[in-house]
Amino acid sequence: TYNPGAFDNASGISALLEIAEVLNNNNIKPKKSILFIAFNGEEEGLHGSKYYVQNPIYPIDNSMLINFDCIGVNSDVPLEISFITDNSKALSEKFCILADELEIDYKETQGGGGSDHISFDYEGVKSVMISEMDDKYLHTINDTVENYISEERLKQTIKFVLYYLDKNIY
């Protein structure tokens, strides 16, 4: 079937690109390296992320992953900060503290989901997924910018992750 994918997951890719541009234009260099990466094959079984953790181009030891999946929704659902194993609980809690500071409506969840952060967490890499799940048009022909995306919500999520990066890598 044809699914335009504005919410799942062009919104996540747009956030990734915007954050990369902001950091690239920053005159201050981060204390840690940052790799921006997107995967294919998530819906079919996390093929891209599974392959990467088995064949990384950079060592994944001492790494962490922030996964965007379905962000910028134009409904009242809270931001979801998700982690899989206890290995990633402390990272998730850091994001929750920052969400409180920024007065962002959020919920923290453990387990479930089927997104690329799972592949990393199962390899011992601290990982969180940032999402705003509203499945009204998910995986349908109606997954378009006009039907699904709020520019303000998308900006809020980008600023939230930039805030995390500012506090933790600069």
Structure tokens given for 127: 């990982």
- The one catalytic residue among 18, 21, 42, 80: 42
Find tokens 């181009």 and name the residue.
57
Report strand pairing: 126-131 vs 106-110. Answer: unpaired
Has 42 been annotated as catalytic? yes
Vertex 75 angle, CA 70 and 79, to 5°: 50
| Helix/strand/coil for 107 | strand
Distance (Å, whole) CA 84 – CA 62: 18
Torsion of CA 156, 95, 13, 76, to 10 degrees: -50
Distance (Å, whole) CA 51 – CA 38: 12
Report strand pairing: 106-110 vs 79-83. Answer: parallel
State the catalytic residues. 42
